[in-house]
Amino acid sequence: MAKKQFGVIGLGTFGSNVAKELFKRDFPVLAIDHKEDIVNKISPFVTQAIVADAADDNSLKEAGIADCDTVIISMGEDVETSILATLIAKDLGVKNVIVKCASQWHSKIAVKIGADKVIYPELEMAKKLAESMASPNILEQIEFSKDYNLVEIIAPKNFWKKTIKQTDIRNKFGINIIAIKRHVPFINNDGQSDIKEETNVVPGPDDEILENDVLVVVGKDEQIDKLKKL
Amino acid sequence: MADKKTEQELLDLAKFYFLNSKFDEALDEFEKVLKINPQNWQAYCNLGLIYENKKDYAKAKQMYNRTLEIDKQNKVAKEHISKITGMDNE
């Protein structure tokens, strides 16, 4: 199967990082911006970098946008050009168009004209930061489904030196522990001590939870809230 | 000479506790090392690792910075400061 080809239109901080990260993962990446200096700068880090006007259909067609499986449009601040680029990419037959939006109305228009996915990195990051401030023991939270979340939580003190079975977490909270992350001290090649993270994936009922362990759990919001308060 | 030996003995004991995840005991011993030799970068760096593990990031950063004041090229301290401050994503 041929590798998916990506196009990134708009090479600001977000767009250029997406392009570079995809290329690092061995995907062919076509990067487009209207500013020559920006295109020259990213050129060594992507498959092809082209100066083109994102609001001009011929320009994008010549650049080869139609050959991309997924196009990421990253011009949140220039809403008008972002909308035109979305429209052109869809008209050229790109199957998957992802648009970085600056506001809710920007996203509404993008979806209306055919964007397959809209993202708000700033809003998502703001939510994450607020959550981490409000619940410092929660390290990571991923929405699993509408009701269920996958959460990385610092092991509550009540669980220290207990096996998973002894915590009775499934009966008491309706939560499943799917991994335990532990910091393990070691001596590195230079003879200097360091700490590495080891993950026990799918731990058994007799596995012990220690101080400073991080539990990766799946459960409903309200059940995880109870665990947070321990 | 006797002082030096004591410092080394304490350092060895502290490392023994550290490697066995007995972080509170290790912390006490590393502190004793620093009382004898306030320039012992190994003690500072290990204290940084212990505080980081305890999620006391402010103290951990302070310890790593002290490590770098003495051993400017210390890789572990540099890496962990980057990790704490989020610069490792750059």
Q: Which amino acid is at B30?
A: F
A98 touches A75 (CB < 8 A): no
CA distance B2 to chain A (A): 24
Task: Identify any residues that bridge with A150 across adjacent strands, giving them in sequence order.
Answer: A142, A218
What is the DSSP code string of A131-158?
Answer: HHHH-TTEEEEEE-SSSEEEEEEEPPGG
Cβ of A185 and B18 within 8 Å?
yes
Task: Judge whether A52 and A62 are in contact, CB under 8 Å.
Answer: yes
Task: Choose among A44, A45, A61: nearest CA to A53.
Answer: A61
CA nearest to B89 within chain A: A17
Which one, of A195, A197, A179, lies nearest residue A187 by Cα? Answer: A195
Task: Check residue A35 and report its DSSP letter.
Answer: -
pLDDT in tens, A3-52: 899 999 999 999 999 999 999 999 999 999 999 999 999 999 999 999 99
A167 contacts A181 by C-beta, under 8 angstroms: no
The residue among A149, A180, A148, A150 whose CA lies nearest residue A164 is A180
Indicate the residue of B21, B52, B76 with minimum beta-carbon distance to A192: B76
How many CB pairs below 8 Å do chains A and B form together?
34
All domains of chain A in start order, with CATH: 6-122 (3.40.50.720), 132-228 (3.30.70.1450)
pLDDT in tens, B48-66: 999 998 889 999 999 999 9
Q: What is the pLDDT of residues A147-163, one digit of tens each?
A: 888 899 999 999 999 99
Contact B19 A195 (CB under 8 A): no
CB-CB under 8 Å, A184 with B21: yes
Chain B residues touching A193 at Cβ < 8 A: 15, 18-19, 42, 45-46, 49, 76
Q: Which residues contact B66 (CB under 8 A, 6 or more apart)?
A: B41, B44
Residue B90: pLDDT above 90?
Answer: no
Task: Summarize pLDDT for A58-88 with one digit per residue, the tens.
Answer: 999 999 999 999 999 999 788 999 999 999 9
Mean pLDDT of chain A: 90
Spell out the domain ranges in chain B: 2-89
Question: Which of the four pLDDT bands, split at 50, 70 and 90, describes residue B15?
Answer: very high
Describe chain A by its helix, strand, coil percentages, rounded to 5.
Answer: 40, 30, 30
**Whether the model pTM is above 0.95:** no
Which chain B residue is nearest to residue A139, measuring alpha carbons?
Answer: B55
Tokens matching residue A56: 């001009």
B80, B74 Cβ separation under 8 angstroms: no
Using CA atoms of A38, A40, A45, A49 in order, give the dihedral in degrees to the nearest 10: 90
Asked if the Cβ–Cβ distance from B21 to A154 is below 8 Å, we say no
CA distances from A83 to A19, A137, A216, B63 (A): 20, 40, 40, 50
Q: Does residue A210 belong to the interface with chain B, where contact is any CB pair within 8 Å?
A: yes
Interchain contact, B52 vs A195, CB within 8 Å: yes
Q: Which among B42, B46, B53 is the nearest to A183, CB-wise?
A: B53
Q: Does A188 touch chain B (CB under 8 A)?
A: yes
User: Tokens representing A99?
Assistant: 């648009």
- Per the CATH hierarchy, to which homologous superfamily does domain B2-89 belong? Tetratricopeptide repeat domain (1.25.40.10)
